[in-house]
Structure 1
C-alpha cells in the first residue's frame, strides 16, 4: 500500500541523481516505526572497529569507519540482504591519521581524515563508490570530526574540531570547511574569530570560552553538521562551547552563533539521578544547572518550518594539562546559596556528580554560588530559523530507559544515558527521530510530527556504545523496507533493524 503525493521543489531526475530530501515522493505507507527489530548484524572487530557508516543505494554498499588497528573504511555489500558480504576495505592510513566520518552522495564517498599530527590540517578523501578508486584529496581544517553532503550534492561540509594537544601548548582553530563539488572541489574554510567581540553577550546566554590561553577562534570546537533540505544552510554543533552555529553555504559565511543556555535540574520536569553510590535508581530535583553540550544534530521540516534535533551528550575538556571536571564533594560551596551543603556533598546525594570547575563562583570570593553540570541527559528540538527551543525531553527519556530496565546507574554521576547520535527518518510521510544512547546501548525512537510534543515509540537494544546511527529509506533500502543501522564503537559490531 502506498501513499501518493506530487513531486515539488525537486524534479524526479534531481531526486534520483542527487538524493534531494523531498519527502513528497511516493513512499511505502504501511511501515510501523514502533516495530523495529534486529534482522542482521556483522562483527568487524573490537573497540573502535565500527564508528560511523554511510550507504550508497546505487551499489547497495555500506561504508563503515574502522580505526581498531589502522585507518580503514570497511565496505559491506548488502545487495543480498540480510546476507552481508564484506569486501576489500579502503585503507586510508597512508593518507593521514584517523578516519572520523563518512558520507555518500551521487556515487561519491567522502571520508573525513585527521592529520597524523591531529593539530594540523586534515583532509577529505573522495572515493568512487563503484570502483573504490580515489577521486580527490582535499585539505580542510584541523581534525575534521564529521563530514556530510548537502542534499543537492553540491557541497561537502566538515566540522573541524581543532582540539588541542595533551599539554595544551598547541590549540588549532576550530573551523567549518565548505567544499564546492561542482567547482572542482574548491574549498573554503571558515573560522570563528569574527565573533570574539560578541563573547560577553554570548556568554550571558550560556556560551562557553574557557580553554587555557585560547583565543575565541581556538576555543570553538565544531562537532557535527546538519544541512537544510534546500541545501542553503548548515547548522554546526559547537559541543564544548554549548552552542550551534548557522552557516550560509552559498556565500561561505558563518551567520551567527546560538548559545543554548542551561537545563535546571532543580525543576521536577528535569529530575535526574546524580549518584552511582545510592544503591538505587531514583530521579529527583537537585540544585544544578547543566550545559546541554550537544553532539549530533539533524535537520527536518514540518509544515514548511525547519527544525533541529540535538543529542545532548555533554562533553568535558579533559587533558593532561587541563581537566575542568570536579566532583561536588571537592568544592567549597557558598553557605548562602547552599545552606544544606554538608548533606548535598554526601555520595548518595550530589557529592559524586561531576561539574565544571571553570564556572560558578559568581562573586569571585573563592566558593561556588552555582553548580554547572555536563549534558542534558536527553534531546532538544529548536526552530532552525530563530534558534529558539521548542521542546526538551526533560527527564522523560531517562524515564523510558528506566522502564525498559536498561538504565546504567554506574553512569549517574557522569552524564546519565549520554545521548550521542541522532538522525531523522521519514516513514509514511512522517518524520521519526532515532536517538542513540551511548551508555545504555540503545536507540530511542520518537514520532516528531509535532516537534513541540514528540511521542515515544520504542526502545531498541544495540551493540556496545552506539556511535553512529543511519536511517535508509524504503525506496533506497536493498530490500525495499526502511532500515536502521547502528555502528557500535564498544564492540565493533554493525546491527541492522527493520520493521515487522
Structure 2
C-alpha cells in the first residue's frame, strides 16, 4: 500500500535554498546538535537531563557542562565539532551551578545546601582526561557563577545564597547574605587555604544587606565584575579583593513592546523606569561591561546593555533585540506581561580581528550575534536558532566555534530534550532565518504557521493556528527572496472585528481573490470544527459547520488542511474519530454549491511510539498530496513524509456509511530535510503548498515559541 517514489534532496540543496544572500561575508551556521541525554548511562530511562553552563578545555577539544537536574557534570568530545562524541558524565553529591576550565582541569561549583537558610557549597577540582575529582574546597555558602582568570591564577565565585521566592513573595532581604569568594589555583588545582571572602553588603540601594551575587567575569587585568541581579547593581573587585567601583544598573524606558499575554502580537505597549536587573555579565576589554538584562525580582529590560566601567551607559539595546526576535518568529507571547524574550546570557569573543558579543534569549531560544568593534555602537549581524532555553554560551575563537548549552528538557511533556548546539564561523551565507517580516512598514510578529497555499510561483499565503487565536491572520510570503519575506498580514475578521477563537489549520484559494479556511475544533475552548470562507479583505462571509454524521463522532484532532478539487473542498482529518478504525482517518469533502458532504478513508503509518496523523492536503493536477507525520521529535521521530493519492480515487461516499479506502504513495521522506540545518527533528511539519511551476514549499509550526525552540523551517523541493 505504501511505495517510496522520491528520495530526499541532499542537505546541501536544502541549505542552498534557505541561505541568506550575503555574498561571501562570514556567518555563523549551526553544524551540530548534541542531546545531552546521550551521556546518561544505560538504564536511566526518561530521567531529565540538562545542559546549563558550559566551558571548554584549553585546546578547545572537550566541552564540560553542568547538569543540575541529574546532579552531574557531562563531557562532550568535539575533535570533529560537526560530530560531537558522548564522553559520559560523573555523579556529584549536590547541584552543580557553574563550571570553568583552566588547561585540562575543570572547576565546578556545587550547591549542597539543605535549604535557603542552611546554605553550603563546595568547589570541585576535576581532571577532564580521567574524569576524576582531584580535590574539594568548602565554599561556606551556596554558589552560583564561577570564572577563571585568563592567566589561570585564580577563580572568582559568586556565593549567591539565593532567596526563597515563595517566602514573602521573594522580597529582600533574606539571610544569609551572599558574597564573592576568590581562590588561588596551583599546580594541583584549587588551593583551599587561599579562599577569601569579599563582603558585598551595604552597596546597593535595593536590599543592601542581601546582595545575592549572580554572575562573575574577570578581565585581563584580573579585575572581577559581579552582578547583583535582584539588587540591580554591579560591583568591580580587584585581584586583591578590594572593591574598586560599584554602581546601580539603573532603569530604562521601553516603547514598542507587547505587554499582554493574550494570544495576540501587538507591539504598542510601554514600560517606564524598568530595572535592568542583569543576569550574565562579560567584560569587553577592560573598559566596558556587557550585561544581559533578564530581570528577576521586579525588572528586566528585555535587552542588553554596555556600561562604561564608571557605571555610565555606553549603549543599550532598548527593544531592538526583542524586535529582531519578533521579525523571525521567535517572540514568546506568554512572557509578554513579564520579561518578553528574557535575555539571560552574554559572551564575548574575538574572531580574527572582529570582536563579537553573543546574547542569548532564554524564552525566545535565539542568540543574537553583534559586531562590537565599537562597544558604544554594537551592530546586529545575525540571529541564530538555538535549543530551548539557551543558558550558557561559549565562544571558542581558536576553532571558529560558538557553543550554546540549552537547559530545557521537556521529556515529561513529550517535548525536545536538552541540547548542546555548535556553530561555526564560515565563509558564505547565513542559513537562518528561513522567514522574516523584516522590511514591513510596521513591526509584525508571527508564528505557529499551520497551513500554506501557493498564489503563484513566487508568492505563498500562510495562516497561524489557535496559539494566536485573538488575532488570526493570513500572511502573504514572497519566496523569491532569501530569506523569504512576509509582505502582508491580513486580519481575519467577523463583522469587522478580529474573528477570535479560531484554530485555523488549512487555507486554500477560492479562485476569486478570497480564501477557504479550515478550523480545527478545540472543544475545551469552545472552538468548533468548521469551514470558513473569507473575502479578499479577510472578512468571514460564510461559515459551514459539521453535519450530524460528523459532529456526533468528532474528536479534538480535526481538520488539518483544506484544498479545492474539481469544485469540491477536501479536508484532511488529523486523527481517528470515534467511528474510524485504528490507523485510518477520513478525507472529508464538501460541495460549496450543493452543500453535499462525503468522504473516503486514508491509511496511516503505525510507528512504534506516539501517534501518526495528517497535517495538510493539497490538490495538484492528477494527484492530491498530503503531509503525514508522527508526534515525535528528535531521535524518536520516525514518520515525517509527503504522500500522494490519485485524484481519481477521491470519489466521496456518503458520510455515515462505509467509506472507500484509498491507496497512498510516499513521495518524500522529510526527516533528512528536517536535520539538514543540523538541528533536531521538529515535531510539527504542518504546511505544504505546490506552485504552478511544480515547486513544493514546506513549513513547520513553531508552537508560538511555547515549550518550543521557536525555530521555523520553510524550504522548497521539486515536486517531481
Give the TM-score normalised by structure 2. 0.50
Residue 271 in 1 paired to residue 279 in 2? no
Residue 101 in 1 paired to residue 109 in 2? no
- What SS class does the counterpart of residue 146 from structure 1 fall into? strand
Residue 497 in 1 paired to residue 489 in 2? no
Match of 1:230 in 2: 221
Query: Separation in 2 of the partners of 1:134 and 1:33?
Result: 44
Give deviations 1:330-374, integer Å, cap 9, x for gaps: xxxxxxxxxxxxxxxxxxxxxxxxxx5xxxxxxxxxxxxxxxxx1
Match of 2:211 in 1: 220
Query: Separation in 1 of the partners of 2:377 and 2:87?
Result: 43
Residue 423 in 1 paired to residue 431 in 2? no
Match of 1:363 in 2: none
**Aligned pair count?**
376
Give deviations 1:217-246, integer Å, cap 9, x for gaps: 3x2110001111122x10000000001011
- What SS class does the counterpart of residue 257 from structure 2 fall into? coil
Residue 311 in 1 paired to residue 292 in 2? yes
- 1:444 corresponds, among 364, 368, 383, to 368
Query: Separation in 1 of the partners of 2:402 and 2:60?
Result: 18
Query: Separation in 2 of the partners of 1:170 and 1:278?
Result: 37
Query: Separation in 1 of the partners of 2:79 and 2:64?
Result: 13
Query: Separation in 2 of the partners of 1:290 and 1:226?
Result: 24
Match of 1:27 in 2: none
- 2:397 corresponds, among 459, 466, 473, to 473
CA contact (8 A) 1:47 1:490 kept: no
CA contact (8 A) 1:34 1:445 kept: no
Q: More displaced, 405-414 or 271-280?
A: 271-280
Query: Separation in 1 of the partners of 2:62 and 2:263?
Result: 47
- 1:184 corresponds, among 181, 191, 203, to 191
The 5 A counterparts of 1:287-306 are 288-301=272-285, 306=287
> Following TM superposition, where does structure 1 have runs of at least 4 consecutive aligned residues deviating by more than 6 angstroms?
none
- Indicate the structure whose relative CO is greater, using CA pairs within 8 Å and at least 6 residues apart: 1
CA contact (8 A) 2:54 2:405 kept: yes
Query: Separation in 2 of the partners of 1:313 and 1:484?
Result: 21
Match of 2:176 in 1: 172
Query: Separation in 2 of the partners of 1:313 and 1:453?
Result: 21
- 2:241 corresponds, among 252, 255, 260, to 252
Match of 2:67 in 1: 66
Offset, 1:176: 0.5
The 5 A counterparts of 1:370-389 are 374-384=299-309, 386-389=310-313
Offset, 1:59: 7.5
Match of 1:459 in 2: 383
Offset, 1:167: 4.1
**Cα distance, 1:190–1:248 mapped onto 2, change above 3 Å:** same
CA contact (8 A) 2:392 2:404 kept: yes
Match of 1:362 in 2: none
Offset, 1:34: 5.7
Offset, 1:430: 2.1
Give deviations 1:149-198, integer Å, cap 9, x for gaps: 011111111011111345479722111000011483410012223x2xxx
**Cα distance, 1:253–1:139 mapped onto 2, change above 3 Å:** farther
Match of 1:351 in 2: none
**Cα distance, 1:472–1:116 mapped onto 2, change above 3 Å:** same
The 5 A counterparts of 1:32-431 are 35-45=27-37, 48-58=49-59, 60-68=61-69, 70-93=70-93, 97-118=94-115, 119-165=118-164, 167=167, 171-182=175-186, 184-185=191-192, 186-193=194-201, 195=202, 202-203=204-205, 208-209=206-207, 216-217=208-209, 219-231=210-222, 233-249=223-239, 251-265=240-254, 270-277=255-262, 279-286=264-271, 288-301=272-285, 306-316=287-297, 356=298, 374-384=299-309, 386-431=310-355
Query: Separation in 2 of the partners of 1:84 and 1:279?
Result: 40
Give deviations 1:6-36, integer Å, cap 9, x for gaps: xxxxxxxxxxxxxxxxxxxxxxxxx988621
Query: Separation in 2 of the partners of 1:156 and 1:259?
Result: 24
Query: Separation in 2 of the partners of 1:494 and 1:307?
Result: 29
Query: Separation in 2 of the partners of 1:455 and 1:58?
Result: 30
Give deviations 1:104-145, integer Å, cap 9, x for gaps: 012210001011425422111011222222222112242211
**Cα distance, 1:401–1:170 mapped onto 2, change above 3 Å:** closer
- What SS class does the counterpart of residue 151 from structure 1 fall into? coil
**Cα distance, 1:447–1:279 mapped onto 2, change above 3 Å:** same
CA contact (8 A) 2:246 2:311 kept: no
Q: Unaligned 5+ residue runs, structure 1?
A: 1-30, 210-215, 317-355, 357-373
Q: More displaced, 34-43 or 462-471?
A: 34-43
Give the TM-score normalised by structure 1. 0.71
- What SS class does the counterpart of residue 326 from structure 2 fall into? helix
Query: Separation in 1 of the partners of 2:350 and 2:28?
Result: 14
CA contact (8 A) 1:65 1:72 kept: yes
Offset, 1:47: 5.4
Query: Separation in 1 of the partners of 2:148 and 2:347?
Result: 15
Query: Separation in 2 of the partners of 1:188 and 1:408?
Result: 42
Structure of larger gyration radius = 2
Offset, 1:294: 0.3
**Cα distance, 1:59–1:465 mapped onto 2, change above 3 Å:** closer
- What SS class does the counterpart of residue 150 from structure 2 fall into? coil
Query: Separation in 2 of the partners of 1:175 and 1:32?
Result: 48
Offset, 1:79: 2.0
Query: Separation in 2 of the partners of 1:454 and 1:130?
Result: 39
Q: Unaligned 5+ residue runs, structure 2?
A: 1-22, 38-46, 410-417, 427-720
Query: Separation in 2 of the partners of 1:409 and 1:47?
Result: 26
Offset, 1:431: 1.0
Structure ranking higher in strand proportion: 2
Query: Separation in 2 of the partners of 1:35 and 1:411?
Result: 30
Offset, 1:48: 5.0
